[in-house]
Structure 1
Amino acid sequence: MKENLDISLCDTLSLSKTRSQNVDALFELMQRHGQSFYDEAVTQLEHALQAAHLARESQASMEQITAALLHDIGHFLMDEHDEQNDFLVEDWHHETIGARQLEPFFGKAVTEPILLHVPAKRYLCTIDAEYFNGLSKASQQSFKLQGGLMTDDEVAEFESNPFHNTAVLLRRWDDGAKVKGLEVPALSAYRQDVESCLECD
């Protein structure tokens, strides 16, 4: 697995002494690294904010809202583009890198849905033949790189995870968070949720 980390989020947060400082460091990183495009419509930061907004509009818990906001933090940490600024045709497992970087600071209610949001796409494509057709072009292209349809054993393993339902919800918010020009609340609107979910002192 490639881990071409532009910066170690874990190291950055470890230098912070308070929960508020941790959120400051996390949000500063997202502002700085979130300006590259997620797909043809929105930037990484716009995508994160739209996903968190959809979670909040769905009356989600603070852990689910935080997971929605941070679900693609792995993309923020890696340069996955080539010299033409196109995505490389390789899966760098952003969901795993993101979850692992966040694990020292957040509980499983946040990190497990992040880890599972890519398998959740594979799961939904497997159990619902029409789901694939509703994906964005970028998600359709990454689907095969990420493993394609699940086997029966993979479906059973996914469904056995206690956070699989949240992962499916997160996947739905992820899919809907690609609207060009949509006005949603800024990062600061999620400070209390994220700070409350931090488990470090």
Structure 2
Amino acid sequence: MKEHVDPTLANELAEGSPEKKINALFTYMEARGQSHYDEVVTQLEHALQCANLAQLANGDAIQITAALLHDIGHFLMDEHAENADFHTQDFLHEEVGAAYIAPFFIEAVTEPVKLHVPAKRYICTTDSTYYNTLSEASKHSFQLQGGLMSDRERTEFESNPYYQNAVHLRKWDDLAKVKNLETPRLETYRDAVAHCLK
């Protein structure tokens, strides 16, 4: 699936002023975010709900931007297209997304993006009640992504300086699936995103 990553956004982010970079990012998210994340919300609705949860939790610009962009890999690979077998295979959207935006965004944003999938495994490993709060789709992907962490994996995860931000992001991610929820629009986050550009 990685060979199907869309290069368009990177080409636009590589050029222009910070304002033009953000314009390109938001235009891309609006266009590619209309496919469905699950049966309840679109990709864009999920991203906006996640960013809003970060904001409501008094997250800083870095946390809000990571929340907004955490699933950019899904946008880039269009995993939810009809020909994408995303229900039976893990396409590592978190790694694809983090690597894609790494040339343009600071590490404090890209690392939680990369870690938000392992963070689900970490939380389920350290909190035995968390698994039962997940949606059926999230439970299914949890198994595809490796299930509970080993002691070695847990230690490795905790060694990352951004692991706590990734845990916060994961919890917002799991809550950001509410049908017909009114949220602030992308433009609300322009200043936060600008703060996180390299």
**Same fold flag (TM > 0.5):** yes
Q: What is the percent sequence identity of the aligned residues?
A: 58
CA distance in structure 2 between the aligned counterparts of 1:144 and 1:8, rounded to whole angstroms: 32
Q: Give the TM-score normalised by structure 1.
A: 0.94
Deviation at 1:82, TM superposition (A): 5.9
Q: What secondary structure sits across from 2:2 in the alignment? A: coil
Residue pairs, 1:40-189, within 5 angstroms: 40-81=39-80, 83=82, 87-189=86-188
CA distance in structure 2 between the aligned counterparts of 1:148 and 1:12, rounded to whole angstroms: 37
Change (3 A) 1:139 1:4: same
CA distance in structure 1 between the aligned counterparts of 2:95 and 2:9, rounded to whole angstroms: 13
Deviation at 1:79, TM superposition (A): 2.6
Contact 1:122 1:149 in 2 (8 A): yes
Q: How many residues align?
A: 198
Q: Give the TM-score normalised by structure 2.
A: 0.95
Q: Which moved more, 1:75-84 or 1:39-48?
A: 75-84
Kindly provide the amino acid, as one letter, of the partner of residue 2 in structure 1.
K
Contact 1:8 1:77 in 2 (8 A): no
The answer to whether 1:12 aligns with 2:15 is no
Kindly provide the amino acid, as one letter, of the partner of residue 19 in structure 1.
P
Contact 1:82 1:88 in 2 (8 A): no
Aligned to 1:24: 23
Instruction: Supply the RMSD in Å over aligned alpha carbons.
Output: 1.5
Unaligned runs of 5+ in 2: none
CA distance in structure 2 between the aligned counterparts of 1:120 and 1:38, rounded to whole angstroms: 19
Runs of 4+ displaced beyond 6 Å: none
CA distance in structure 1 between the aligned counterparts of 2:21 and 2:55, rounded to whole angstroms: 22
Unaligned runs of 5+ in 1: none
Contact 2:112 2:165 in 1 (8 A): yes
